[in-house]
Chain A
Amino acid sequence: MAVRKPPITTREYWAPGHAACAGCGCAAALRLATKAFSEAMEEKYGDPNAFAIAQATGCMEVVSAVFPYTAWKAPWLHVAFENAAAAASGVEAAWKKLGRKGKILAIGGDGGTADIGMQALSGMLERWHNVVYLMYDNEAYMNTGIQRSSSTPYGAWTTTSPPGKYSIGEDKPKKWVALIAAAHQIPYVATASVANPYDYIRKMKKAAKIDGPAFIQVQCTCVPGWRAPPEKSIEITRLAIETGVWPLFEIENGDFHNIKIQAPGGGAKVKREGGRVVAIEFKKPIEEYLKLQGRFKHLFKQPEAIDQLREQIKAMWKTLGVEVTLPKPEE
């Protein structure tokens, strides 16, 4: 009987027994990332374990390394909130001197990356360390409760961006760290989603095999933070892609003229010119994505706020060089 090869290694580096919530999208993101890393190391160095992890303070750190336990089956280091990139720089430099083959994976959430960790990230990328930086983006500070970060999308409820008489919730558009990373003209930048694991694995492997810095921003749900049912995590992140909220793209060597945009699925019509995506006509309205999450519940009482979000998403796609049509739900 033919035995099908598993699509990704059965080796585990993110072990069962961590304390993440049921349905945590970010736990899935870390598990897949380390598996993909392992495959890349095996293919590149013949050693599936040839990597170490430097991780920022954040929800994935506090759920995975509670003394005297650990969920990590790879060498793993946590220092502080804002310095995963700097700590990874040090580890990489040490490995170079020790003659140790392999690659460093730095992991930070959106707060530890887009806000307080931005300077260290920029320094690490600019110095060209042989590190893949993975930003798991659950769009708020989730280990301290649910406070807004600069990666929180417009309109989202958080405990520090509460909707109220004078507030729509978060009142600023989301900061796109992947584009900031790409401005360093590093070899590889990508966005990814846990709802598209094959694409995510491919990107992690590609990043891991590159000599030099790479940056990947993966969107993943936070069950309590997004006010969403645990069993809907993957469905929600898939809808983010299919409605245009979360673009999947790759930028190599900082070439903004050659951004590789991936087709979003969900019935969207993609227009290409010379192989390059220039326009996308989305079929599913962003409301389909928003309505599954309690953090956007209040927006449905103010449809103009959703229109505002639609305009911001269009503007973001325009930055990527793509004209998009975002439908409104049928009346």
Chain B
Amino acid sequence: MPIRKVMKANEAAAWAAKLAKPKVIAAFPITPSTLVPEKISEFVADGELDAEFIKVESEHSAISACVGASAAGVRTFTATASQGLALMHEILFIAAGMRLPIVIAVGNRALSAPINIWNDWQDTISERDTGWLQFYAENNQEALDLILIAFKVAEDERVLLPAMVGFDAFILTHTVEPVEIPDQELVDEFLGEYVPKHAYLDPSRPITQGTLAFPAHYMEARYTVWEANENAKKVIDEAFAEFEKRFGRKYQKIEEYRTDDAEIIFVTMGSLAGTVKEYVDMLREKGVKVGVAKLTVYRPFPTEEVRELAKKAKVLALLEKNVTFSVGGALFQDFSRALINEKEKPVIVDFILGLGGRDVTFKDLDEALGIAQKALAGEEFDEVNWIGLRKEIL
């Protein structure tokens, strides 16, 4: 029987790792995800998880050791955030290029400068071009579930890509919620044992991994990462379906909430989706036709689902905790790209908000709604809007 425990998302991530039974975990402490390796080290110390826990001297070495372990053919896990993920940046490309299904739990946190330990998505968003799959959790249960799903998808022979699962700093990492811990047997059945066909360092069948490629081969290697990302779209759907069958919780690349007759659809990710759902409920009572779409999967980008979503609304209001300078947010770029060649498309309004842990309040959402309603009415509007900005201190 699954058990329910009240826990932080960090603990949920550690529980997910325990259930997935990785053989090697290499990690370096960083706020706000420190509790993940702490909890895992307890599991290992108590014999509840039979794994090697490498207490590395940096995040760069954490991911490097994960690459080494994964290349040697074992399931591998780590956790990090913000500067730590940025320090891994170089090796993230290598892990994807070498097609190693490492999973990272990321406590989504802002990047320096100024140094800031609170939540936004700039850390993982900045790694969107590394080839890694990206999942975003709305709550602590999703943090646990998505890590299991991430392993399942990453290790699929059609994919073989590393994956990161983000959950918002403090809003989730340090906040307790009831979380259902699935039965180990069911997780074992869901994930199976990881037996790689392509990555091993076995003296009885020596192979060379991590070669140099001249211009004659490099582009093809990059294309296979592209192709694997494309393949992942279907594999993720399958994994979601299987997860629902086994564990009863439903996931979709884009989860819609009250979108059916919506004129304005707010699009967001992570824990903000929870806030916006509440906000939409409130507006609906007032008769305002709004809905929410939550991206659970950001890479591969769910282009088809975005096109379907776009058919439902006149305005897509993107709520983003990240910045792509002179463009807006990253989602703005992705949505524009997905819709640009569509015959009929909604107006896209972009909102940057909640950076560095700034609360996103209903008042902020009112401000966003006001601008979205202007767009809906055909009035002039700014494509990119910074919400909750304290202009008086600029």
Residues of A within 8 A of B (CB): 47, 49-52, 54, 61-62, 65-68, 70, 72-80, 82-83, 85-98, 100, 102, 119-120, 122-123, 126-127
Contacts and interface: CB of A to CB of B under 8 A. Distances in A.
Contact of B57 (A74, A77, A95, A126): A126
Given A61-B212, A66-B214, A123-B61, A77 B68 contact: yes
Contacts of B23: 93-94, 97-98
Nearest to A62: B212
Contacts of B202: 75, 100
B290 interface: no
Interface string B217-237: 100010000000000000000
B379 to A, nearest CB: 52
A126 B51 CA distance: 20
Interface residues on B, range: 35 or more
B58 interface: yes
A77 B201 contact: yes
Contacts of B252: none
12 contacts: A50-B203, A79-B71, A80-B91, A85-B61, A86-B56, A86-B60, A87-B68, A90-B66, A91-B69, A91-B201, A93-B26, A119-B57
Given A94-B24, A94-B73, A102-B203, A65 B68 contact: no
B376 interface: no
B201 A119 contact: no
Contact of A97 (B24, B55, B208): B24
B54 A70 contact: no
B213 interface: yes
B67 A87 contact: yes
B208 A93 contact: no
Q: Most chain-B Cβ atoms within 10 A of its Cβ — which of A66, A77, A85?
A: A77
A279 B145 CA distance: 67
B56 A75 contact: no
Interface of B: 23-24, 26, 50-52, 54-58, 60-61, 64-74, 76, 90-91, 94, 98, 200-204, 206-214, 217, 221
Interface pairs A-B: 4 shortest CB-CB: A90-B68, A123-B57, A90-B65, A94-B72
Given A51-B203, A52-B203, A54-B68, 8 more contacts: A66-B214, A86-B64, A87-B64, A89-B65, A93-B65, A94-B70, A94-B76, A120-B64
Contacts of A127: 54-56
B68 A91 contact: yes
Contact of A87 (B65, B203, B208, B214): B65
A77 B54 contact: no
Q: Most chain-A Cβ atoms within 10 A of its Cβ — which of B23, B52, B71?
A: B71
B71 to A, nearest CB: 5
A50 B210 CA distance: 20
Contact of B54 (A52, A67, A93, A119): A93
Contacts of A68: 217
A83 to B, nearest CB: 4
Contacts of B213: 66-67
Nearest to B56: A123
A66 B55 CA distance: 33
A33 B274 CA distance: 59
B208 A65 contact: yes
Contacts of B209: 76-78
A77 B91 contact: no
